[in-house]
Amino acid sequence: MPVRRDQPARSGEDGRLLVVGPATDVREEVLRLAATAGILARAIEAAELTAAIWSGPSLVVIDADCADQVSSVALTRRSGLVIATTSRPNADVWSAAVSIGVEHVLELPAGQAWLVDRLADAAGRTEPLGALIAVIGGCGGAGASTLAAALAVSAARSGHQPVLLGADPWDGGIDITLGAEEVSGPRWPDLATVSGRLSTAAILDGLPQAHGVRFLSSARGQA
């Protein structure tokens, strides 16, 4: 039952976006896109970077020109990291990306649409990321669904806001395990037919709920 707990990407008082790098075209372009999206942003030089500044924003965009300098600073690994460049990334940039632990190396302006989507995600994130617990059964009937449902209900009773995902398309339906097969709301096949971008908030608000647990299940006959 592996548990992943990344360093949370929190939105802090200095904004949901941090741009690290000198006053170059990269920084100006990222700040322009952030302003268009209505996102509070902060720009600093790599030499100003501290652990507190690093851990605050939802998204951190690092100019490739200072990626080596950032990688030399002892910083906690976290999610929401991007390196941006206006030229084709070279081996040094990729090496720094691996060292820092970035999720994406972005070439501008070609990657503008991707960055705008990430900025929209950052704008909608107001709380720390939660823990991810995966329950995997060694075979059918091993009790993985029962354990996953029990963990989710226990988390809800402890004051958390769990979301239970039935990720096996061939299971009987995690909603049945919760005793919520009659609760209306979308199932996996419903989301599979949706096109375009869906915000996290919109998905969560639309999920069915039982025992304080939001859930997304397969549907009988539609696995």
Q: What is the average per-residue pLDDT within 57-84?
A: 92
Residue 183 CB neighbour total at 10 angstroms: 13
What does the pLDDT look like over 155-180, one tens digit per residue?
Answer: 999 999 999 999 888 888 899 999 99
Q: 208: closest CA among 193, 186, 178?
A: 186
What does the pLDDT look like over 176-223, one tens digit per residue?
Answer: 999 999 999 999 888 877 665 566 777 888 899 999 999 999 886 554
Distance, in Å, from the CA atom of 18 to the CA atom of 149, rounded to the nearest integer, reads: 37
Distance, in Å, from the CA atom of 33 to the CA atom of 118, rounded to the nearest integer, reads: 11
As given in the structure block, the two tokens for residue 189 are: 């096949």
Instruction: Write out the residue limits of the CATH 3.40.50.2300 domain(s) in the chain.
Output: 7-124
Pick the CATH number of 7-124 from 3.40.50.2020, 3.10.180.10, 3.40.50.2300, 3.30.530.20: 3.40.50.2300
